[in-house]
A and B are shown apart, each in its own frame.
Chain A
């Protein structure tokens, strides 16, 4: 079992004929993901990936023809907000945006609109999700993880790969790995995923990978302390990052003292979470 994606996920790729879209669609299909459609405006009617996947002009047409229930977005940053609105309006319940560099005001509009429609967004600026052995949605390399009972949730990309790989090297596998992305305004957050892992019968332990900035890790710590029964191990990146040359005071007023690695580690430890000194230490803390 798993969360969010599994072998029943019917995936649609927005931007499937672009360089990155095509490369990663090939990888997802090879992994065994049930990739049912692609969307590129103006290329409807074509077939890609050796004639295995039909391309449509719009998400609406693709959904009508294939009953896709998840969309992954590989379009450039300036077009990504429109792609997210389009998928939501077409009735796709789960949208995963890989694209990096989406403007933050755009993301605030997208997030508030999607919330009203009750659509779940993962990302943007994220590696996507992997349920080993069943489905891969996004860019996490498939061969670095094996099926298992550890749920992994992370704000980072390549750092997540390190952790999956470190787990695999000692024979530990993942139920699902969710990369929620590192942007200031995103869709799914730590708490959403922790709650799903808590209720997933096949997830027995959870790894949470955070980093400096924002207060999501602190909120996750509160949630873990009050709601979670499953053990959580964590790593927080950025312990040595220098404080930026800040300008203006509004950020400090909004975030208060939150945001430092030290503060996050303290909050998590107080919630009973074992915090690793470096990512390769995580497997031993899970034992």
Chain B
């Protein structure tokens, strides 16, 4: 789950990381009031869950409260990479002397958390990583021991941070580590961490991602989820424990298992079709889950045919068949359906669907070809 900048920075502040004064606003008038309270120059920042906000014109500096109102008006009317801007963060503007990149994330290859820092912070950190990898410092953290102070000092020294800031940097690193640990983050990123003209370290921007699998122990964070930024169908799918991603094609796919779901999409493409979605009903799905999945697929008006590919293991094919029948009865779909059932209780499943006027298939390739044909 991604958190907005303002949410991430609120968490940072809780762990003692200095952030600029500011608040989030949903209207231009609110933004004006916040700017008046702050006084002086402010930054108006769009709050959307994508990168590249600055380059898209979603971050602007205002010299007065009136200008802040005007800029907020503009930004709140924008769409950034397809996402409408619904909120802006109004922060006091900082006098920046230097920008640093600083993050803690999971290194899946090393199986350890890793602290990443660079003296060349700011927007183009990915380019720095690609062109000047020696400018990126990485230090792994033992997950059983936690971050040690000397590691933070080593990082500070490696990025040539002036010594007067080392103590403060170590404090920020310790705070970021605690924030990462206690929220089950997969990413806690400060970019940039700035040295201000008056020699303070401040986290100007923040991004956090939280491990969805750990949300059971973070009810408070779960409430931060911004469902306005999701496809409604994806939100609906999550409610039923389904994994659904909408795509641009016209062949709806319902599959059990993520690997097989991706493979089914690949084969549809291989035979000249175009998948309308990724949908994994997971292992052991019952008929209610299957019928919910089918309604979600059919809510996409682009869908011209549906492919069911179920290899029963934990999942029982007869349960899937029952779910399909329930959904057919409720939705009364008009598009052709291709179904392939293999594995646990496949025979029973096929029998249940005998009278349902569905196209049946034996192999994966056969099923994909029939679906592509049916969508034409």
Name the prevailing secondary structure of the B interface residues. Answer: mixed
- Structural contact, B260 and A214, CB atoms closer than 8 A: no
Chain-B contact segment, one of A51-59, A60-68, A101-109: A101-109
- Structural contact, A105 and B181, CB atoms closer than 8 A: yes
Q: Which residues of B contact A238 (CB under 8 A)?
A: 262, 266
| Nearest-neighbor residue (CB-CB) of A216 within chain B | B109
The answer to whether B213 has its CB under 8 Å from any CB of chain A is yes
- Structural contact, A185 and B247, CB atoms closer than 8 A: no
Known: A162-B311, A209-B259, A242-B245. A214 touches B108 (CB 8 A): yes
How many residues of B are in contact with the other chain, CB < 8 A? 68
- Structural contact, B50 and A247, CB atoms closer than 8 A: yes
Of the candidates B114, B142, B209, B216, the one whose C-beta lies within 8 Å of that of A112 is B142
The answer to whether A287 has its CB under 8 Å from any CB of chain B is no
Q: Which residues of A contact B335 (CB under 8 A)?
A: none
The answer to whether A155 has its CB under 8 Å from any CB of chain B is yes
Known: A165-B342, A254-B107. A139 touches B313 (CB 8 A): yes
The answer to whether B144 has its CB under 8 Å from any CB of chain A is yes
Which residues of A (114-167) have their CB < 8 Å from a CB of B? 127, 139-141, 144, 154-162, 165
The answer to whether A241 has its CB under 8 Å from any CB of chain B is yes
The answer to whether B371 has its CB under 8 Å from any CB of chain A is no
Shortest Cβ distance from residue B82 to the other chain A in the assembled complex, whole angstroms: 9
Known: A159-B257, A185-B108. A249 touches B51 (CB 8 A): yes
The answer to whether A267 has its CB under 8 Å from any CB of chain B is no
Q: Which residues of A contact B228 (CB under 8 A)?
A: none
- Structural contact, B211 and A103, CB atoms closer than 8 A: yes
- Structural contact, A161 and B343, CB atoms closer than 8 A: yes
Known: A105-B143, A237-B266, A253-B125. A247 touches B311 (CB 8 A): no
Chain-B contact segment, one of A192-200, A225-233, A272-280: A272-280
Shortest Cβ distance from residue A279 to the other chain B in the assembled complex, whole angstroms: 6
The answer to whether A205 has its CB under 8 Å from any CB of chain B is no
Shortest Cβ distance from residue A191 to the other chain B in the assembled complex, whole angstroms: 12
Which residues of B (342-361) have their CB < 8 Å from a CB of A? 342-344
Q: A104-B214, A256-B129 are in contact. List 14 more A-B contacts (CB 8 A).
A: A104-B184, A104-B213, A158-B256, A158-B311, A185-B111, A235-B263, A240-B262, A248-B187, A249-B103, A250-B189, A254-B107, A278-B364, A280-B364, A280-B365
